[in-house]
Amino acid sequence: MRQRIYEVIELAEGKDRLSRLYDLTMMAAIIVSLIPLAFKGTNVVFDWIDRVTVGIFILDYLLRLLTADKKLAKGAGSFLLYPFTPMAIVDLLAILPSFTDIFPGLRMIRLLRLFRTFRVFRTLKMFRYAKSFQIILDVIRDQRVPLLAVCSLAVGYVLVSALIVFNVEPNTFENFFEAVYWATVSLTTVGYGDIYPVTTIGRVVTMVSSFVGIAIVALPAGIITAGYMDRIQKDKHEQLDD
């Protein structure tokens, strides 16, 4: 029985219609649960949407906890380890904010606006039920070494650029954090314009930072795209072989 539950709640494989229906139901519940977040106020409809969808999420969480040994394959210890896995934490963060509405005793937590924002974590649950998202996660996992190298390069470049411009234009930036913010915006070539250098040297640093930023920002996209295409081609070949 638990084996069948595990097969249903996991991403659908082959022609398992019940598992595919479960995936579609969960995707629909996630999308519907996000609708109230697009409005500042609330009403009876939004309250019922939250209650029903969070009920579905709780059931999903309990079923995954019940079959944790099938997922982690670590015996009885799987039931203790599962709540600390990344996706289980995401599931929990997606559920907890709704308890402030269900249980009056927790309404004091609603003073923290950020706690309500935790409902946005429900979007991350989509990675579990959409095969395309799962492929992207697999690609990121497979390409983690080059991606980590690029991210380290980007962070290092941001800090170095921030240090340079902070010393070149001390009057423009009140603190080092503002310089880091400017360097990040320049690196990504966004350029909000709220903080900008006014001296010639500072503007030269900005131009160099923007040009280098184009290359650095493009690298992760290229790595992920190449890995994604390789995975798609691999899946097509496996389907043809079958």
DSSP string, 91-139: HHHHHGGGHHHH-GGGGGGGG-HHHHHGGGGGGGGHHHH-HHHHHHHHH
pLDDT score of 151: 85
Looking at per-residue pLDDT, the higher value among 38 and 66 belongs to: 66
Task: Please tell me the least confidently modeled range out of 40-44, 143-147, 162-166, 167-171.
Answer: 40-44
User: For residues 94 and 118, is the Cβ–Cβ distance under 8 A?
Assistant: yes
Which domains does the chain possess? 2-129 (1.20.120), 144-241 (1.10.287.70)
pLDDT category of residue 109 using cuts at 50, 70 and 90: very low
**15-27 tens-digit pLDDT:** 778 888 888 888 8
Q: Is the pTM of this model over 0.85?
A: no
pLDDT score of 186: 81
**How far is the C-alpha of 147 from the C-alpha of 179, rounded, in Å?**
25
Mean residue pLDDT across the chain: 80
Q: Mean per-residue pLDDT for 137-158?
A: 85
